[in-house]
Structure 1
């Protein structure tokens, strides 16, 4: 399905992307703590909403 070169490229891209994201987050950590206090509540609400939709889907299927 995928060639060896494509797998190597995907792995290198993923590793590089993760490293850059970690570096960027570390660089902006003070800004995140100042402006995004309480943002975890939005994330939890979003996850609960997705779980609720999944539960509704499963119960309506039966």
Structure 2
């Protein structure tokens, strides 16, 4: 399905991409704490909204 070269490239790309993301995140960690304080509340609200949509879908289907 994939050649050996393609698999090596994909593996290399994933390793370098994850390493770059970790480096950038650690570099900006102090700014994240300062400017994005409390952003988990938005995530919880979004997940609750999606959950409510699924519950409504199940309720109206039955």
Q: What 5-or-longer segments of structure 2 have no aligned partner? A: none
1:5-40 per-residue CA deviation (whole Å, 9 max, x = no partner) reads 111111111111111111101111110000000111
Q: Which protein has the larger Cα radius of gyration, Structure 1 or Structure 2?
A: 2
Aligned length: 61
Across the aligned residues of Structure 1 and Structure 2, the Cα RMSD in angstroms comes to 1.9
| Cα distance in 2 between the residues matched to 1:7 and 1:56 | 43
Quote the residue 2:4 is aligned against: 4
User: TM-score, normalised to structure 1's length?
Assistant: 0.74
4+ long deviations beyond 6 Å: none
